[in-house]
Structure 1
Amino acid sequence: MTDHKHLKRRVRERMARTGESYTTALRHVLAAREAVPDAVSGRHPESGQSTQNGHDEHAGRSGHHDAGLLHRLLPSHSEAMLAGLGGGIGFMYAVFEYRGHHPMVTIVAQAHPEPVIPVTLARAGIPHEVSRTGSARVAERALRETLAAGRAAVCRVSRFALPWRPGFPFPDPLEVAVVGADGDDVLVLDARSEPERLPLAEFMTAWSALKKSRHHLISIAGPAVTGPPRAGRAVTGPAGAGPAGADLAAAVREAIAGTVARLTGPVLGTSFDVNFGLSGMNRFAGQLGDAEGRTGWARRFADPEAFFIAMTRLHECLEAEYTAPGATRPLYAAFLQEAGTLLGGAGGTACARAADLYREAGELWSRIATRAVEPFPRYRELAAEKAELLLTEGAAAAGRLREIAATGAYEGSPGEDDRTGLLAELAGLAARAVRIEEEAVAALRAV
């Protein structure tokens, strides 16, 4: 209990000093406590002093799940570089409506819809094998073989089936790494620096729950592939490839070009593409500030509880879920900083310009997220506790995490005039962010 009080005090001191959200400040304080090397900027996580190129960027843990997971497995690349190679940023905005339920806002601010980890590994030149099977027995055997060979196994599981990640009653994909087995237990690397111990039977339930990607396994071979691939598996990446063998500059250019294409052009090739990229951002900003239209947030979320759900969901999507804080923009700026040093010349100049813009955009997205939940202190308290438990205790706090997930967090909403004013304020911030994003994309085209 005393340790938790000290942790909270240090987090709040950092918040007051830096203006960061609780979750972001928490990650940096934990990184300093655990002596984790700064994966984004090279500065000491709490001092605020840069040790790389004189820049003062996000420090400590980036908050990006997939990049953070890969960095623990492949520390030769920074989290920022791994995130950027995987596509970095994106934007998908949608409001889903189902009979009998309030509308549900979803924003995906990271690269989407391609899974980040396989793309990152391919571009980084890291040899790996990808397999899928409908058979739990075959999947378990493949997992044991991977671990016996000394390889890390990245498995796509149902997020809410993990005991330390309770939530909605539907499958939602999440990549975790299985890094060992001990009797009937497996060691699962997720949010914490240390792996969680989970009975193999429970892990198999979570691994079997995704119909479209059941038992999806990425076996990371490391610096070289030894021996031929096993039957039914595809090897991606040349033998011996990796940080030294891959043409990193070419991979960086390819990744940036892919990000630009995803932000400016068709993603799925369907009518839903209007919700992606810069188009999706403009759509979001427009609907957020529309006080009269049927799809405007003033009418769509006129019910006080619906408004509460929309505001808290906005905070989650821009700061925590399917993103890193600041809609992943600060992390992408750190990637562009590295990329600019690598590329040099005109490409390096363009990267530096885009990095400055994405840092600015990230600050605005975080302001939107923070301002959206200012009227809801109980939600903020529970969200901070959840983040802290997930990062510090994990499976040991599964019971309390279930209690938080089951808590009815609705605590009322501001009056209609205050809601209208808040939406107008958020729409203004979003419009500014979109203009900056458009400038940033224009800069990236020159890389």
Structure 2
Amino acid sequence: MTERKHLKRLVRARMARTGESYSTALRHVAGAREPRPCPAALPGYTRFGGGVHHDSALLAHVLAQAGVVSPATGRPYTEAALAGLGGGIGFMYAVFEYRGHDPMTTLVTQAHPDPMIPKALARAGIPYEASRTSSAARAEATLRATLASGRAAVCRVNRYALPWRPGYPFPDPLEAGVAGIDGDTVLLDDQCAEPHELPIADLMTAWSALPKARHHMIHVTGPGADGDPRRAARDAVAETVAKMTGPVLGNSFDVNFGLSGMRKLRAQLADTKGRQGWSRRFANPRAFFTAMTRLHDCLEIEYGAPGAMRPLYADFLDEAAPLLDGPAASEAAALYREAGRIWSKIASDALPPEFAPYHELITESQELLLTEGARATPRLRELRDGSAALTKEYGDTDPLGPAGRADLLASLADQVAQAVHVEEEALRLLTEGRADV
């Protein structure tokens, strides 16, 4: 408890200095902690967790271990650079129906649906190998051989099958770094500043649980990066613009992506009469509580980075500005920082004072996941159970009432409209050719 109080003081001091949200400041503070020496880690794998975006921070660790540096700077790749090269930001909004569950709101604010890590590697010209197999025995043998060769691996697993990530009863992909092995225990790099020690049998369970990506693994095969940094930056920006303004999948689901998805979210938040409007769809107080907490978590914690990943993308645009012609990149970066502030405010407002116990619960969960990881598994499971209990409690008591729910939805709709306006302007700047994209 004393350690967590000290962590909170550091986080709040950073918030006061930078204006960041609690989630952003927490990730920076946790990532700045020096990890304990870990003899079982591969040589050169010295950083774990940290960063504000899971996949980008993980890839930065893997590339540093492989000795890969950016040809643009001669230094290790930054998290922001990798986030941008991997597709940058996106926006996918949908409400899914699962039997026996309230409607499930999902927002993905990173580039989607293409996985970020292979795209960033390919665009940067970094050699890598990807493998998949239906055989668990063959997958384990390949993983052990990769580690024995001195290379870290990135395995796509079911996040909810990892002991320290209790969650929903359906698979959800997550990239996890395997940074070493000691007998039958692997070291996983997954958000925590310390490596997770996990029996390889448990890793195999999580690694085998994704039917469409069973035993998917990537490892870097060389220290070089032979891509053209200028072309890579321009192509990355052009792709982000295209997917935020046009089709992503080429089918009817595209209405849920990019600016279209953002406008759809605003419209459904504001709709008080239609069946798809949140007033009717989440009229049940329990379902409303679930929708609000999910909105918060998707914008600040899951499937991107805090502030809907817009501040991190702004950092990429600033870093890439020397590789792009004209002032558009820097001007757009300022707008994306503003959009990030709006999205973080939306996330914060989705948890009104009546939902304070959930905010305390999710904050503790994030602190433990970032600083203790696997060692905090029992407590993380208690917190997950507590979340389920709160959902029932708020469904029974309905502390906001119909009028409070209506006012909150109207306010959120107005704020999403502001974010849409800001992002339209940022995309206009990047489209008009001043960044030569």
TM exceeds 0.5? yes
Query: Which residue matches 2:204?
Result: 204
1:399-410 map, 5 Å: 399-407=378-386, 408-410=389-391
Per-residue deviation, residues 105-137 of structure 1 (Å, max 9, x unmatched): 111010000000110111111110011000011
What letter is aligned with 1:367? K
Normalising by the residue count of structure 1, what TM-score does the alignment of the two structures yield? 0.87
Contact 2:30 2:193 survives alignment (8 Å): no
What letter is aligned with 2:144? R
Per-residue deviation, residues 376-404 of structure 1 (Å, max 9, x unmatched): 11100010110000000001011111111
Structure 1 residue 299: Cα displacement? 1.2
Query: Which residue matches 1:154?
Result: 154
Structure 1 residue 186: Cα displacement? 0.8
Distance 1:130 1:335, change over 3 A: same
Contact 2:233 2:320 survives alignment (8 Å): yes
2-structure distance, mates of 1:144, 1:18: 43
1-structure distance, mates of 2:32, 2:55: 21
1:282 to 247, 256, 263: 263
What letter is aligned with 1:309? T
Contact 2:269 2:277 survives alignment (8 Å): yes
What letter is aligned with 2:248? V
2-structure distance, mates of 1:98, 1:149: 44
Structure 2 residue 404 is the aligned partner of structure 1 residue 426: no
What letter is aligned with 1:404? L
Contact 1:28 1:61 survives alignment (8 Å): yes
Per-residue deviation, residues 268-308 of structure 1 (Å, max 9, x unmatched): 11111111111111011111111222211111111111111
Structure 2 residue 145 is the aligned partner of structure 1 residue 145: yes
Structure 2 residue 369 is the aligned partner of structure 1 residue 380: no
Matched residue SS, 1:273: helix
Query: Which residue matches 1:10?
Result: 10
Which ranges in structure 1 are unaligned for 5 or more consecutive residues? 36-59, 224-240
Normalising by the residue count of structure 2, what TM-score does the alignment of the two structures yield? 0.89
Structure 1 residue 99: Cα displacement? 4.4
Query: Which residue matches 1:250?
Result: 231
Query: Which residue matches 1:132?
Result: 132
Query: Which residue matches 1:357?
Result: 335
1:71 to 60, 64, 67: 60
Contact 1:62 1:324 survives alignment (8 Å): no
Structure 2 residue 345 is the aligned partner of structure 1 residue 367: yes
Query: Which residue matches 1:303?
Result: 284
Contact 1:151 1:222 survives alignment (8 Å): no
Contact 1:285 1:431 survives alignment (8 Å): yes
Matched residue SS, 2:305: coil
Structure 1 residue 61: Cα displacement? 4.7
2-structure distance, mates of 1:33, 1:113: 32
Query: Which residue matches 2:302?
Result: 321
Query: Which residue matches 1:270?
Result: 251
Matched residue SS, 2:186: strand
Distance 1:98 1:216, change over 3 A: closer
Query: Which residue matches 2:71?
Result: none
Contact 1:91 1:277 survives alignment (8 Å): yes
1:438 to 412, 424, 435: 424
What letter is aligned with 2:267? G
Distance 1:98 1:205, change over 3 A: closer
Contact 2:156 2:173 survives alignment (8 Å): yes
Q: Is 381-390 or 297-306 further displaced after alignment?
A: 297-306
What letter is aligned with 1:356? A
Per residue, is there more helix in 1 or in 2? 2
Matched residue SS, 2:308: coil
Structure 1 moving runs of 4+ over 4 Å: 16-19
Query: Which residue matches 2:89?
Result: 89
Per-residue deviation, residues 335-392 of structure 1 (Å, max 9, x unmatched): 000111233x32xx11111111111111100000001112311100010110000000
1:40-55 map, 5 Å: none
What letter is aligned with 1:366? S
Identity over aligned pairs, percent: 63
Matched residue SS, 2:160: helix
Contact 1:156 1:217 survives alignment (8 Å): yes
Query: Which residue matches 2:106?
Result: 106
What letter is aligned with 1:310? A
Matched residue SS, 1:171: coil
Q: Is 136-145 or 93-102 further displaced after alignment?
A: 93-102
Matched residue SS, 1:92: strand
Per-residue deviation, residues 297-332 of structure 1 (Å, max 9, x unmatched): 111111111111111000011011101000000000
Backbone CA RMSD of aligned residues: 1.6
Contact 2:32 2:50 survives alignment (8 Å): no
Q: Is 386-395 or 406-415 further displaced after alignment?
A: 406-415
Distance 1:156 1:100, change over 3 A: closer
Matched residue SS, 1:134: coil
2-structure distance, mates of 1:379, 1:63: 22
Matched residue SS, 1:256: helix
What letter is aligned with 1:442? R
Matched residue SS, 1:328: helix
Which ranges in structure 2 are unaligned for 5 or more consecutive residues? 36-48, 65-75
Structure 1 residue 162: Cα displacement? 0.7
Contact 1:63 1:320 survives alignment (8 Å): no
